[in-house]
A and B are shown apart, each in its own frame.
Chain A
């Protein structure tokens, strides 16, 4: 967390009165001064590297069944040679799962799915939310009312319940689960964009732009949306973590990723009845989810302090 009484960085001004470091550079510099931002970037950096180099890091393929290849049994405990596991036994640092696959390799490949889930769900929610929020804020009137009341209805449901209902209609599967999580997240982004658009719409520079004959599209693209961006980036970073958690929750209920996909929530769900006999198969996927979400949350915290101190808490 960051200090609330820290002074904001003042952009350097050259003699002609121009800022030598733009607002984005200033924000980036501030981000690098936040402990939480740096910690988040380190965690996410490791995650991205793991995802990219998964085939190099993982000793086996995510769906490689080891029966007949190695002398291992189903749900065997982790075996780490450095920690005293006999050298004649094959090393499996996170153990073997219920289908005799290497748990560590599956976790490593799972990083790809988690990053994909986070970015696609929130990306989709932002695109639809931005369109709806911009229309509601800029056009106003009956259209805005209809949009906002519809979003109110979406918000009146507990998010997981609505997501379950949507997946029940679309059918279980990772893509459908992601779609459901994107839909339940739309109102948050639409509301933020709408409130930004509403405040920007009243600014004098919008009147000036209208006066010089700028079209609505130009005004929206050049003036309105860029001003609504900082809070959106902060929300999105924090939202990615939540989206990963929510999708993992759906997978845990059997509605998200289906076997044999190495999705962490689904991996955890498939072994949850074995928690007393093979706790490592529940522990490691959960830990992976937690670290990923923590990374996004820490980066989101750092970005919030760097980009929009008003939102700080």
Chain B
């Protein structure tokens, strides 16, 4: 197993290098120069020359790439040209938003998609089955940005002054602040000495509120997360429901399911232990593939709901030609992708002991 993991990581290295190279070249191919787009009107020739020299942008492209790789190997993702702050710092602030949004959307998609698919397959060809599949087809056809705007219209405007009202933007209401757990517990005296990883964890507002027992922030953060998560989860939910249904329909026809029923097992045991368990394998693959859909959707969802996450930051960085942010964020996303895909592959062995990963 360990050998397999090491080999997979080694195999991932060329892809990662390719991602680095492509991102680097793509970022520098964006027309226009960063000096003018960032400094605006004050960007005279002199100012720009100094700006380019300070940021190392006056060197040749291959030279810049080597410096970048060297910095990366030392764990330095660079400094944002626009914000003049380290990329790791910006990531610690913005990645939690996207992680929270993506995770909640995926959990929602599984919590609703899998049971719907199960009911559909167990009541095959019934009205419920037909309705679910029509719903799933509509779900995969819906533009995320449209659904997000429509949800905001219904829940923030039409249902205003009702208990169902939900906020249309932001992560927390005005006046509600999330106090980091390390500050609550008095771990650090100076805020700038806090490790980035702890900052990252504390910016997962729901997690932070949960461990510090701050229920006001917890409720408020969840309320703000509902609409973006629902909008983002629709496509994965529809795909997961369809996949669960088809995968279960195949398993239901197996002899061992008939045997399980014939020997008098409770229907719930047959469904959960014999049908669902065996139908999980293709489902996990599909859930893994949905991560890409979720991240792409996050760019749009974060834009609609005014959330400062990684997706929106990346989009803004591309338009502002902030190379270090484009590179830093993309590398982190690509590594995240590779790790998650590895986890999906490893899960096969646990779900089906017949699969021996070599």
- The chain A residues found within 8 Å of chain B, CB to CB, are 1, 3-5, 36, 149-150, 152-153, 156-161, 164-166, 168-169, 171, 241, 245, 248-249, 252-253, 265, 268-269, 272, 275-276, 279, 282-283, 285-287, 289-291, 293-294, 297-298, 301, 312-313
Contact = CB atoms under 8 A, between A and B. Distances in A.
A187 to B, nearest CB: 12
B143 A158 contact: no
Residue among A160, A275, A301 facing the most chain B CB atoms (10 A cut-off): A160
Contacts of B334: 156-157
Interface string B91-115: 0000000000000000000000000
A87 B174 CA distance: 47
B318 A249 contact: no
Contact of A290 (B23, B31, B143, B149): B143
Contacts of B130: 1
Nearest to B295: A158
B44 interface: no
B315 A293 contact: no
B153 A276 contact: yes
A4 B152 CA distance: 39
Contacts of B26: 165-166, 169
Given A152-B15, A290-B141, 4 more contacts: A1-B129, A149-B14, A157-B22, A160-B296
Interface stretch (B46-54, B219-227, B243-251): B243-251
B319 A168 contact: yes
A279 B143 contact: no
Contact of B146 (A153, A171, A289, A312): A289
Interface string B131-145: 001000110111111
Contacts, number: 148
Interface stretch (B58-66, B181-189, B298-306, B348-356): B298-306
Interface string B1-39: 000000000000011101100110011011100000000
A289 B31 CA distance: 31
B253 interface: yes
B141 A161 contact: no
A269 B149 CA distance: 10
B244 to A, nearest CB: 10
B210 interface: no
Nearest to A268: B146
Contacts of B18: 149-150, 152-153, 156
B296 A158 contact: yes
Contacts of A301: 137
A313 B246 contact: yes
Contact of B19 (A156, A241, A313): A156
B157 interface: yes
A82 B113 CA distance: 40
B119 interface: no
B17 to A, nearest CB: 9
B333 interface: yes
B171 interface: no
B257 interface: no
A158 B333 contact: yes
A313 B240 CA distance: 11
Contacts of B23: 165
A289 B149 CA distance: 14
Nearest to A159: B296
A297 B138 CA distance: 9
A283 B22 CA distance: 38
B170 interface: no
A290 B292 contact: no
A89 B20 CA distance: 60
A4 B149 contact: no
Contacts of A252: 143, 145, 300
Given A276-B157, A279-B153, A313-B243, A168 B318 contact: yes
Nearest to B142: A290
Contacts of B300: 160, 249, 252-253
Contacts of A272: 145, 149, 304
